[in-house]
Amino acid sequence: MTAAVVVPTEEELKGLDLSSAEAADLIRHAQESAAADAQLTTRQALKKYKKAVFWALFLSTSLIMEGYDLVIINSFFGQTQFSNRFGVLDEATGKKIITASWQSGLSNSSVVGQLIGLLFNAYAQDRFGCRPTMMFFMAWLIVWIFVPVFAPSLPVLAFGEIMCGTGWGVFQTLSTTYACEVVPTVLRSYVTAYVCMCWGAGILLSSGVVRAVAGLEGNWGWRLPFVCQWIWPIPLIIGAYFAPESPWNSVRRGKNDEALKNLMRLASDSPNKALEVEATLAYIRYTTDLEKAETANASILDCFRGTNLRRTEINCVVWAAQILCGNAILGYSVVFLEAAGFTEIQAFDLNIGLSACYIVGGICCWFLMPRFGRSTIYMGGLTMMFVCLIVIGGLGFAKGKSYQMAIGILLVVSTLINMITIGPVCYPIVAETPSGRLRYKTIVIGRFVYNLTGIFSNSITPRMLSSTSWNWGAKAALFYAGTNLLCNIWCWFRLPETKGRSFGEIDLLFDAGISARKFKYTKVDQFLAQNNTSIHSGDEKPSALSHVESL
């Protein structure tokens, strides 16, 4: 079966403004770059693009701050010092607690800020580039961290979380898009999965800090973890200043000279460096211009039109499934464990082990991704987490220390599964599926949906776990087993396989309307049409060109 795709003519390649001969030469260089990229092994790519990998990993470090705060604020709900300062008396236990409504309010405060930051980034990254945007919002964080550190009340603390969350919202999408754009195809899954590891590293760090201050008396037991957030912004501002801009971003802003300069910085020295860089720039310009033919002067509304609607759907559901798979419970692990019967110190100790899974799992995922497809790993993870959630929920009906221990072990197993599969694999999927012209906007929309899902989860999960509200305890896992199953069913029918595909090939597969199940087995040659028909001009348009062949 053959799916037809009409490739734009020279007249439709508006951004290049080249003669037929120059356009043909550009296509030839682009084809050379794509062919060379496709032949690289992981080891060869690491050697050739070690500078690009370094900068991708460095800027992704900004996500440590988001992961750090995510667990900090949720861990405080089970901390005695924080509860004594801001809580209300629970007559049943005689202890002060943070009410379920304020747990939801504080958890959602940073999420609301992240939604604002995502909107800022949708404009700023396209208008100013990755580096200036990151530097500005790092400086923003330096200022607003003062508010949670010295907050006299929960409303002020919530306001500070909103302001800090604005910066984290920017970093959520900026780090992912930058990482996937500065490295070749074979390395994309590694650097984007590292983004998730940074998020997990922040969670591990925060778990360790909260455990370290567990015995500290007074307000510094909760203030000191907030103070530690000042460690990151200044070194990251300095690093962003010296980092090269994304060449794809530069080309989209019409700055080809800047793109060439940054490509020279990103590539390692070699005898043919200049020629290879020129070929890479040609490929970026060629792919960008193909996308311009479909999304010229694109606005955020274009993400919901034509083939881009399908890409946006994939981004939104894959992001939302990060929470609905059962990860929502893991975010409240301290409160969840205490609700299951663990003591405060036991819950904090086990939480450190859970957080370590984010690092171990990310490393394990690096070994899986070269051998298995993105969708295979993602759906496999959902299935295994579903089993764990069903068992945890079932154990919630039983009483006794042995059942508590079993719940703790299964929670560790579930966290490890999540961080080997669903967590890190999400990032290459959401980075690869949007079109280049709409990549930032599509990922922003997807992350926006993720944060809205987080608001929903943060509103109901504390009530599930709180002894003064629904008091479900470990039985809350059954609810997320249901949402997990719905996500897995969607993945079977709608999640395509993008492993090993260049951005240009992915564009053609979506344009051809290839179904999710056939993505993996479809042959693509984005240059075949140009090789066969050269460059068309005037009113003549190429016939339906069969360079996407579904087997």
DSSP string covering 47-99, please? HHTHHHHHHHHHHHTTHHHHHHHHHHHHHHTT-HHHHHHH-EEETTTTEEE--
Q: How far apart, in Å, do the first and last CA atoms of the chain sit?
A: 6
> Model confidence over 191-242: pLDDT tens digits?
877 877 887 788 778 878 877 887 777 788 888 888 988 988 889 999 999 9
Residue 536 falls inside a structural domain: no
**Distance between CA atoms of 156 and 373, rounded to whole angstroms?**
46
More confident residue, 373 or 9: 373
Choose the most confident range, by mean pLDDT, from 31-45, 118-132, 143-157. 143-157
Residue 419 falls inside a structural domain: yes
Count: domains in the chain: 1
- Looking at residue 28, its pLDDT comes to 60
The residues near 28 (Cβ < 8 Å, ≥ 6 apart) are none
CA 170 to chain centre: 12
CA 440 to chain centre: 12
- Looking at residue 23, its pLDDT comes to 52
How sure is the predictor about 33, in pLDDT bands with cuts at 50, 70 and 90? low
Residue 264 falls inside a structural domain: no
Residue 9 falls inside a structural domain: no
**Distance between CA atoms of 224 and 342, rounded to whole angstroms?**
25
pLDDT at 376 over 60: yes
Q: Outline where DSSP puts E strands in 403-526.
A: 522-524
pLDDT at 398 over 50: yes
Residue 267 falls inside a structural domain: no
**Distance between CA atoms of 276 and 178, rounded to whole angstroms?**
21
> Model confidence over 286-318: pLDDT tens digits?
777 766 665 556 678 888 988 899 999 999 999
pLDDT at 166 over 80: yes
Residue 231 falls inside a structural domain: yes
* Percent of the chain scoring above 90 in pLDDT: 16
Backbone dihedral region for residue 218 (phi beyond 0: left; psi -120 to 50: alpha; all else: beta):
left
CATH number, domain of 334, equals 1.20.1250.20
**How many Cβ atoms are within 10 Å of 93's Cβ, its own excluded?**
10
Residue 520 falls inside a structural domain: no
- Looking at residue 531, its pLDDT comes to 47
pLDDT at 182 over 60: yes
- Looking at residue 494, its pLDDT comes to 94
How far is residue 52 from each of residues 38, 166, 183, 420, measured CA to CA in Å?
17, 27, 6, 24
**Distance between CA atoms of 208 and 432, rounded to whole angstroms?**
34
Q: Locate tokens 């490890």: which residue?
A: 416
Q: What is the DSSP letter of 218?
A: S
Residue 547 falls inside a structural domain: no
Residue 128, domain extent: 40-243+299-503
**Distance between CA atoms of 110 and 106, rounded to whole angstroms?**
7
Average pLDDT, the chain: 79
**Distance between CA atoms of 92 and 326, rounded to whole angstroms?**
30
**Distance between CA atoms of 100 and 103, rounded to whole angstroms?**
5
More confident residue, 464 or 25: 464
Average pLDDT over residues 419-446: 85
pLDDT at 372 over 50: yes
Which amino acid is present at 177?
T
How sure is the predictor about 30, in pLDDT bands with cuts at 50, 70 and 90? low
How sure is the predictor about 479, in pLDDT bands with cuts at 50, 70 and 90? very high
* Percent of the chain scoring above 70 in pLDDT: 83
How far is residue 381 from each of residues 79, 362, 418, 422, 425, measured CA to CA in Å?
32, 13, 6, 6, 10
CA 465 to chain centre: 27
Q: Locate tokens 């979380």: which residue?
A: 161
How sure is the predictor about 399, in pLDDT bands with cuts at 50, 70 and 90? confident
Which range among 12-26, 65-79, 107-121, 251-265 shows the weakest confidence by mean pLDDT? 12-26
| β-bridge mates for residue 138, sequence order | none
Q: Are 231 and 129 in contact (CB under 8 A)?
A: no
